[in-house]
Structure formats: C-alpha cells, structure tokens
Structure 1
Amino acid sequence: MSLKIGMVFADLPQEGKKPGGVSVVIHELANALVRAKNFVRIYTYSSKPHDALYEVVNLKPLINMKLSRRLFLPFQLIFLDYQDLDLLHLHGEDWAYLKRDIPTIRTFHGCSLNEAQFADNLKSKFIFKVYHYLEILARKLANLSVGIGDDTVALLDVKHIIYNGYTKALYYPPQHKANKPTAIVIGTLQGRKQSILAIELLLKIKKEIPELVIHAVVDQPYNHPDVNNWIGVSSEKLAQLTRDSWIGVSTTLYEGFGIYYLEWMASGTIPVTFENVGIKNLIKNYQAGIFCEDTNDMYHKVLSILQNSSSRIAYSRNAITASKSLSWDGIAEEYIKFYSQLM
C-alpha cells in the first residue's frame, strides 16, 4: 500500500551546517519512506536538502527561526493544506493543532523533563518544564504516539518504541580500523553535549598512549595541536571518521536517543558514555558499549579498552550485531505498520 505522508518540522539538514539530531532523523526517515514507494511532503522553514527524495513546501518564519519554531509554527500547522495526504507524521510543535481532520502519528524524540533537568540556565529549565505539559497534550491529540527511547515511556506514557536508524551505505564495519588508536567525539563543545570534557579526557589519555588520534566533530575548534577539528563536514566524511575510529567518547549530559551512538555501533566503533541516553537498553542488552559513572571512571575505562585488543574486538562485534536491524529502511517499515493502523 502506497501512502501520502505529510511531516512538519522547522529545519532540515543543510550543507556546511551542523544539523540537529531530529532534523537528520526526519530527513533520513522521509527518504526511506520514499524508497519504500510512498509519497512524503515536509513543510519546513528550510530549503530542500540536496539529497532529499521527498517534496518540500517552504514556510516563512515570521521572526527569527528559534522564535518562529516555538511560537508560530504550532499555529501555522493548523492552516496548512493536507487535503491530498493520507496522514500526518508529527515530530513536535503540534500542541496547538487541536482540531484534526487527518489521522496523526506523533514521534517523541526525547522528553522535555529530562531536557529541563540538564538545562544550563533557569530560563531554559522553566521553558522545558512548560513544554512537558504541551508534550502530554500532543500525545493525547495524536491517534498514535511513538517514542524513540525508554524515557518517553516512563515520563510521557507513550505505548510504543521505535528506535532511530542509520544509513547502511555510510555506516558499516570497515575491513580494517585505523592503524593507530583513534577516538571520535561528536557534539557542541559547551552546553548539554559538553564535548570539551571528552576532548580533554582524551588529551589526558594521550599522555599514556602518545599515538592516540583524536577526531573532534564540533561546532567550534578546540585549540590544541593534538586535536583534529572537523566543522561542517559532509555526511560522507563524518562516516569515514566514524568507521576509522576504535571508540567514540561522549560526555553528554542527556540524549533523547543519540543517533551517533547507533552510527558508531554500526561501524564497529565502541561507544563510551554516561548512562543517560535513550539507546542505553540496546547498548546494555548487547554489551555493545561501555557506560561510565563519571569522567574519572571514563578515563580508566577508555584507557583500558584502548589497551585491550580482545575486549575491543568483543565489544565491536556486539555493537555491529546490535545495530543490524536498525537501518533506516527497516525503521521505515516499522512506521509503515503503524501508519496502516490509521487507515
């Protein structure tokens, strides 16, 4: 059954800019749905990505992007024309869409209560706490709700979980990893991602393992001669860096899912992180990565895994196994099953 699916989201991935995680998810899912012979239209403030297989309808932001997304997009959503569509797959900013003449499915890409817990200022904490109640309203308004991690079940009473996916053409186990010990860090230096901690931890480890190569895919350069900064890299280059790396190190305070963990796993790159990510059960169940209590614990565990080839091989194999069923084409098929329930 071929379906006509609509989506609404403020921004989509753009060349030369580091995209948000949800933007990437929506883009990849939409492409996978089109490959599965469905029609997808996305209403957005962004221009159409160069590799998009779906249709884009451009909306005009009324002020700046951030304010338009939070204040105006929920109301713009009400007045869009969906008459030729079978259903809407919503990903946020839908709390004002009260009267719905079309079936809707809502994916929750995390939970605002968790965002509030780790926000770095009182204003953000307050906004996220308010958004939690809007998320609950959005769940009630949708015909069907899906979460991408365990926190959405616990905090939003979402009944179904569908993990995010990865692009098989980019993320796969290489024939050989880099010759030298190599680690990758992904995310903004400051804020919730706090990648600066991961980089500084790896620089400390480099004193013990001088040949360690450090790749930092960040929003701004970390000024140190031993850090390879990668800013605004293409998806192909990012995938190459991921495939080459032995481990991926993350000191993020919170991730609703953490798609880069899945991309690491699919590439046989071992995630080393804190136990605060939506994908934690997948990692735990398959012993596909290493969880740490704090940065001191992380230092010792990173040092150990880099120096122990047998453990590294075991974790890498487990990571590849855990990720096998989670390609974007497979995730699209999971969503199509839910779409069919709404028809």
Structure 2
Amino acid sequence: MENMETVPEFKLNRLRVAVIALEFISPRHRTGGVSHYNHRLCMKLAEMGCDVTAITMNAYSGELGYKLLPLFEDKEVTNRFVRYYMAPIKGRTIDFADYDLVISSGDDWAMRRSEKTWIRIMHGSAYREVQHNKKWLRKLNLSLLYVLELLSLRQSTVTLFNSKDTQTLYRSRLQDKVLHLPVDHQLFHPGEKAEDPAILFVGALDSRKRGRLLRDLFISEIKPKIPNAKLWMVCYPDEPHEGVTYYQSLSTEQLAELYRKAHIYCMPSTYEGFGLPYLEALASGTLVVSTPNPGAVEILGEGQYGVLASDEGLASALIDGLLSGDSFKDKVADGLEWARSHSWEAVASEYLSYCPQWKGAGAMETAGATQ
C-alpha cells in the first residue's frame, strides 16, 4: 500500500472523466471516423493522467488503456436503431454524479445529467445528412435525430461544433463555439511517396463520399493519360479494374502509411461536417483535391491548403496534381503547418479546461511523474 504522504496531490484527486462513445471501435468489423475519434480521445485523456471510462454499446476484448462500461455486455449490438434510440434510454441507469466531467460524441439525448460539466461534441449535423441522403427512410430517421440533437445541445453545459457550417444549423449559446477536431501527429506525418503516382480515397463507393465517381473518373480519364497511376480505395471491394486496389480492415498504422505514400488524397464528398481525412492527409504532407463541401472548404482554407474542383474539373485537377506535383509544394507546406495547429494535446486540454478541478499543464506534469 502506498504511503499517502508521498503520493502527489494530483494522483489522489485524478479527474474522473466519462466519455459517451456509443459509436466505438470493434475488432470484428469496420467502424466510422467517430468511433476512432472516441478511442483516441480516451487514450489521450488517460495519457494526461485522467481516470477515463468509455461508455459504449458493446464490450471490447483487446487492451485499451482505460476503463470500459458497455451497455450491452451479453451480446454485440450493431443495429443503428438500437444505438440511436434504445442505448440512450438504457443509459439512463448510469449515475454520472461520480464523474468530474462528461464528454459526449452523441446519442446522449435520454441520459440523465448530473450537476457535473457536460461537453457535447458535434461531429456534424443530421440536418445536413438529410439534405445529402437519397433514401426516404434514412431521411425520416435523420430528421428525428436532428430533433434529438437539438434536445441534447440544450441539456449540455457547453457545445463544441466541429465546423462553422455545423454551428450555423443550431441556436448557439454564449458559451458554445467552434473547435476543430485534432489529428494524431504521431500517426499522421510526412514520409516517402510511392514510386508510381497514387491517389488515395477513404470512404464508401455509393454514399455521399462518392467513391464510385472518383473510380469512374480514374478509369475513364486519369488512367489513359497516366498509365502507371494507381488508385487506392479504403472501402468494401467492388469489381476489379487495372490500377485500382481495394483495402479492408486496415489498422490505423497501415492507413497512416497509405496517407504518407499517396501523392494525392481525394474524397469528392457532397457533404462533410468537418472531414477529418482531409486533415489527416494534410498532416501526412499529401496534396488534397476535393469537390467543394462545407468541411473541405473550411479545412482547406477555401483552397489555400489544397485544391477545390467542380465535378466537371475534378479529373483535370487530379491529373494536374499527379503530373505537376512541384507546382503544389507551397500548398502542401502551408497545409502541413495548418494541420500541426490541430493537435490532440491542445484539443484534450481544451475539453479539460471546462472542468473546475483541472490544473492545466502543472497537473499534466505531476501526473506524468507518477506513471
């Protein structure tokens, strides 16, 4: 047993942080960007000396480095209806009074608030999803989720929007503001490019990410002009084409390696609330080419840090980027510097700053000395 007199004050009073992360990583199937964000957030907070508990839908069999509180322990639940509606109701049984801070990435509308600080992170908007979705049943569900987002925001202590566009869709309070999402610079950093000119895409073929549009342009226009060009698609495999490679079930390290090796990152999405892959590409020293959408426009500084092209001009912009890479060195350098300002340390410290018990950098140093 440790001598209580020799234990630093911060260790005796570690911040207890609950992270509502119903969208969470899984070792058995591919998950979205928010799930990886939740995991990285928990890891970073734990590294900073916090006692972190992630509230998830399902249990996790691997080593995480923080605590897990699954809502469904007896079976794995992947149904979206359960996550959106049943899980938040089941979460009403959780008593948050034992935590110093609660950070939520969504699906928390029915959970009981305590008097502790409750931060709601808006990774995008269901309203924009309605505008860019073609399936009527999905539109109906998203419309209801938008109403629940409004309820969630009103209940939070502070809401942090991932972009200016997202903020415009909600009635902000004085304490609410835009806080860009961070990028992991230990994972995403510049490296040696592939020998053949390569374009990287991360997303889905037939969603608003429009992977199929990119692939069709590659086959019909880019490949004929640049015979050795490659298209790397991180998505579910589809019909084979020369020069096109599909990747599935990549680790974050493997994905980061593709970002470094690619000459261009392209995601011609119709809507991104933020577009973290754009930022990850910038941090990897890779030129970003995208069609205009709210996330791309904001992250790329309206074209200062990358190339914004219309649907009609996308193939030409990609060809130009592959053949004349030196012409875009300044954009790549500016983008790299811009990405460096989006660190996990800065964003996690921003979250913790809302907690009265947080002692800032001094607390971090004390925590580090005790580990």
Q: Is the Cα contact below 8 Å between 1:88 and 1:105 reproduced in 2? A: yes
Percent of aligned pairs with the same residue? 26
Residues of 1 paired with 2:325 and 2:78: CA distance?
50
Residues of 2 paired with 1:117 and 1:315: CA distance?
31
Residues of 2 paired with 1:334 and 1:102: CA distance?
16
Residues of 1 paired with 2:204 and 2:59: CA distance?
24
- Corresponding position of 2:171: 157
Call closer, same or farther: CA 1:342–1:96 in 2, change over 3 Å.
Answer: farther
Amino acid at match of 1:130: L
1:182-207 Cα shifts (integer Å, max 9, x gaps): 11011111122221111222222011
Decide which of 250, 254, 258 is 2:275's aligned counterpart: 258
Amino acid at match of 2:273: G
Decide which of 86, 95, 106 is 2:120's aligned counterpart: 106
Structure 2 counterparts to residues 54-203 of structure 1, below 5 A? 54-60=66-72, 65-97=79-111, 100-158=114-172, 159-174=176-191, 176-203=192-219
Cα distance, 1:127 vs. partner?
1.9
- Corresponding position of 1:288: 305
Q: Which moved more, 1:239-248 or 1:275-284?
A: 275-284
Where in structure 2 are there 5+ consecutive unaligned residues? 1-9, 360-371
- Corresponding position of 2:6: none
Residues of 2 paired with 1:187 and 1:118: CA distance?
15
Cα distance, 1:137 vs. partner?
1.4
Residues of 2 paired with 1:328 and 1:137: CA distance?
28
- Corresponding position of 2:293: 276
- Whether 2:44 is the aligned partner of 1:32: answer yes
Q: Is the Cα contact below 8 Å between 1:45 and 1:58 reproduced in 2? A: yes
- Corresponding position of 1:6: 18
Q: Is the Cα contact below 8 Å between 2:262 and 2:286 reproduced in 1? A: yes
- Corresponding position of 1:242: 259
Cα distance, 1:101 vs. partner?
4.0
Residues of 1 paired with 2:255 and 2:61: CA distance?
17
Provide the alpha-carbon RMSD of the alignment.
2.2
- Whether 2:237 is the aligned partner of 1:229: answer no
Q: Is the Cα contact below 8 Å between 2:15 and 2:358 reproduced in 1? A: no
Q: Is the Cα contact below 8 Å between 1:120 and 1:191 reproduced in 2? A: no
Q: Which has the larger radius of gyration?
A: 2
1:70-118 Cα shifts (integer Å, max 9, x gaps): 2211212211132421121112112223653433111111011100000
Amino acid at match of 2:197: P
Residues of 2 paired with 1:138 and 1:323: CA distance?
30
Residues of 2 paired with 1:53 and 1:311: CA distance?
44
Decide which of 330, 342, 345 is 1:329's aligned counterpart: 345
Q: Is the Cα contact below 8 Å between 1:94 and 1:138 reproduced in 2? A: yes
Aligned length: 341
Cα distance, 1:141 vs. partner?
0.6
Call closer, same or farther: CA 1:230–1:16 in 2, change over 3 Å.
Answer: farther
Cα distance, 1:303 vs. partner?
1.3
1:131-170 Cα shifts (integer Å, max 9, x gaps): 2222111111111111111122101134311111222221
Q: Is the Cα contact below 8 Å between 1:286 and 1:322 reproduced in 2? A: no
TM-score (norm 2): 0.86
Call closer, same or farther: CA 1:285–1:38 in 2, change over 3 Å.
Answer: farther
3-state secondary structure, aligned to 1:302: helix
TM-score (norm 1): 0.92
Q: Is the Cα contact below 8 Å between 1:3 and 1:86 reproduced in 2? A: yes
Q: Is the Cα contact below 8 Å between 1:4 and 1:87 reproduced in 2? A: yes
Cα distance, 1:9 vs. partner?
2.5
Residues of 2 paired with 1:260 and 1:63: CA distance?
27
- Corresponding position of 1:299: 315
3-state secondary structure, aligned to 2:119: strand
- Whether 2:320 is the aligned partner of 1:308: answer no
3-state secondary structure, aligned to 1:278: helix
Residues of 2 paired with 1:98 and 1:17: CA distance?
30
